Amino acid sequence: MLYVHNSNCISPQQTFPDTALDLLNESRDNQLLVKEPVYSNIPPGILRRMARAVRMCVGAALPLLKGIPEPDGIVIGTANGGIEDCIKFLNQIIEYKEGLLSPGSFVQSTSNAPAAQISLISKNKNYNNTVTHRGLAFENALMDAVMLLKEKKDGCFLIGSVDEISDYNFNIDLLAGSFRKEIVSNRQLFDHPAIGTIGGEGALMMTVSNAQEGAVARLEDLQTIHTPDETLLLETLKHFLLRNGLTQNAPDLLITGENGDIRLQKFYQAVESLFPEHISIARFKHLSGEYCTASSFGFWMATEILRKGKIPDIALKKGKQTEFRKILLYNNYRGMQHSFVLLGKPVG
Amino acid sequence: MTMETTELKHQVKEQIIKFLNLTTLKTEDIKDDEPLFGEGLGLDSIDSIELIVMLSREYGINIQDPKEGRKVLVDVNTMVDYIEKNRTK
């Protein structure tokens, strides 16, 4: 479907510019916040106004533009965009009785601000799109890129996703039961399953094209589904495996978005039950935290495993290190939005 | 220059840094007669709106006429002069 070339992942873990996932950064107050790098590529005059989500996304994207100065399009998935600035702006409306409002937080809070800022800074006037399908925003950005590469076979696109933790939103989600009420460290997230999980944030940007040369991974197939029914989910997965010839030969590795929330365990257990006992299983939400586009962290981790040929020990749930040729990523957002992404080695 | 004017200039510089998120600057980096836009601080049109919001919230000054804004937002001296004459809080 498409080949993944270079990528940058800014996450709560050590992933940018160098990667050291086994040096686990611990969560605080049930949040895994990004340790932001020094954004030396972003002009200071622009950086001072940027919301965190915009900074993370632009900071991950700009180094990639050294390889392709003018991509044929920019596609970013984000459920909430600069949600912190959005709420700041809405609070201003109330505080100042709909009077004169500061424009900065409004400009930075729109969901398309990250993609727009990348275009403005790089003077790129090509296709520019932001997709906001909540827990499937990243997957829909991938789908957009797949369709674009069908239309423009020699094209090269900059795609990715971003979402940030906002104090306001975290509290709302906490009250709604999405996050643990008791403090839990990400180290012990899976040891004591309970209702809720921990929050996270992050940005992934990558260059994709139809060119196999120099690629680190190949996106082989992608399927999304909205359903609260695990039987329907399993039927969808069976069709997905069938059309990819994986009924006899299972993927070498299953990466799941398991997040320690007991309400979602039935989906992960159902998916895992479909594969033979010897299949290795990895997970990543104790590294990224849960957020709408967290599957992008799993996607990035899968490309790193294909590139390096090794699963980070901290991510391995069961199984052993072997040669990884095909990796299936299954993610689930709040028991309703599911995605299956099949990645393979670019050669063979 | 009175003590009040000197204090007001310092305060306005602090507010410029805060409202425009100029975190790399200190008040002593901003000269009283340094142009705010173009050369000098190099602010832009979005910053001008932020400064108008700042004057409204901090000093109760509402600048409606863009021509008036152009005369006020030249440098710290012109801003302080205007604030002293027109402030309502």
pLDDT in tens, A104-120: 888 888 999 999 999 99
pLDDT in tens, A5-25: 999 999 999 999 999 998 999
Q: What is the pLDDT of residue A290?
A: 97
In chain A, residues with a C-beta closer than 8 Å to the C-beta of B57 are: 96, 100
Q: What is the pLDDT of residue A348?
A: 54
Query: b/e per residue, B24-46, with b = 16+ CB within 10 A?
Result: eeeeeebebeeebbeeebebeee
CB atoms within 10 A of CB B79: 25
Separation of first and last alpha carbons in chain A: 15
Q: Do B52 and A49 touch (CB under 8 A)?
A: no
Q: Residue A146: helix, strand or coil by DSSP?
A: helix
pLDDT in tens, A40-52: 888 888 888 899 9
Q: Where are the alpha helices (DSSP H) in A155-294?
A: 167-175, 230-243, 265-273, 285-288
Chain A residues near any Cβ of chain B (below 8 Å): 44-45, 48-49, 96, 99-104, 107
Q: What single-letter DSSP state applies at residue A127?
A: E
Asked if the C-beta of B25 comes within 8 angstroms of chain A's C-beta atoms, the answer is no
CB atoms within 10 A of CB B8: 19
- For residues B54 and B52, give the distance between their C-alpha atoms in angstroms, rounded to a whole number: 5
CATH number of domain containing B55:
1.10.1200.10
- For residues B12 and A318, give the distance between their C-alpha atoms in angstroms, rounded to a whole number: 61
Which two tokens mark B69?
């804004």
Nearest residue of B to residue A50, measured between CA atoms: B21
- For residues A48 and A60, give the distance between their C-alpha atoms in angstroms, rounded to a whole number: 17
- For residues A2 and A312, give the distance between their C-alpha atoms in angstroms, rounded to a whole number: 25
Domains, in order of start, for chain A: 2-209 (3.40.47.10), 217-344 (3.40.47.10)
Asked if the C-beta of B17 comes within 8 angstroms of chain A's C-beta atoms, the answer is no
Q: What is the pLDDT of residue A347?
A: 78
Report the phi/psi class of residue A257: left, alpha or beta, with left for phi > 0 and alpha for psi in -120 to 50: alpha
Q: Give the residue numbers spanning the domain of B82.
A: 3-86
Q: What is the pLDDT of residue A193?
A: 87
Q: What is the torsional sign of CA B31, B37, B43, B45?
A: positive
Q: Say if residue A67's pLDDT is above 90.
A: no
Mean pLDDT for A315-327 is 90
In terms of Cβ atoms closer than 10 Å to its own Cβ (0-12, 13-18, 19+), residue A333 is buried
Mean pLDDT for A284-307 is 97
Mean pLDDT for A254-261 is 97
Q: What single-letter DSSP state applies at residue B39?
A: S
Q: Do B56 and A103 touch (CB under 8 A)?
A: no
Mean pLDDT for A28-57 is 92
Percentage of chain A exceeding pLDDT 70:
100
The shortest CB-CB distance from A107 to any of B20, B46, B56 is to B46
Closest CA to A63 of A153, A154, A160: A160
Mean pLDDT for A323-347 is 95
Structural domains in chain B (count): 1
Q: Is the ipTM of this complex over 0.85?
A: no
Q: What single-letter DSSP state applies at residue A176?
A: T
Confidence of residue B17 (pLDDT cuts 50, 70, 90): very high
Q: A204: Cβ–Cβ under 8 A, 6 or more apart, which residues?
A: A7, A8, A9, A10, A60, A138, A160, A161, A162, A293, A296, A297, A299, A300
pLDDT in tens, A214-232: 999 999 999 999 999 999 9
Which secondary structure element, helix H or strand E, spans residue A160, and what is its range? strand A156-163
